[in-house]
Amino acid sequence: MFKKHAEKREASRRHRQIMNAAYHLLTPGLHLDTTARLSPEDVVVLAYGRHQIRITEEEARDALGAALLERGFDLGRMTTT
């Protein structure tokens, strides 16, 4: 029982940290520069640099897509490399 709770808490913390890294990339200047593109690799590097966690590109792509849409950007702002 305690193990499940700890796993859920860890998953929640990890998700919060990954989303924090994705949101950090969405600077106010992104609204002005319509040619700027963000990549999942940016999230991977920032998550490691800020939170010392290693994430997959798939996790980074999901987080970046969610952050972009939540802040009113379209998914065209994300590179597909």
Average pLDDT of the residues in 42-67: 97
Domain that holds residue 6: 2-77
Q: What is the pLDDT of residues 3-48, one digit of tens each?
A: 899 999 999 999 999 999 999 999 988 888 888 899 999 999 999 9
Domain count, the chain: 1
- The CATH number given to whatever domain includes residue 31 is 1.10.10
Is 77:37 a contact under the CB 8 Å cutoff? yes
- Among candidate residues 80, 29, 33, 27, the one with its CA nearest the CA of residue 58: 80
Per-residue pLDDT at 81 = 61
Is 19:69 a contact under the CB 8 Å cutoff? no
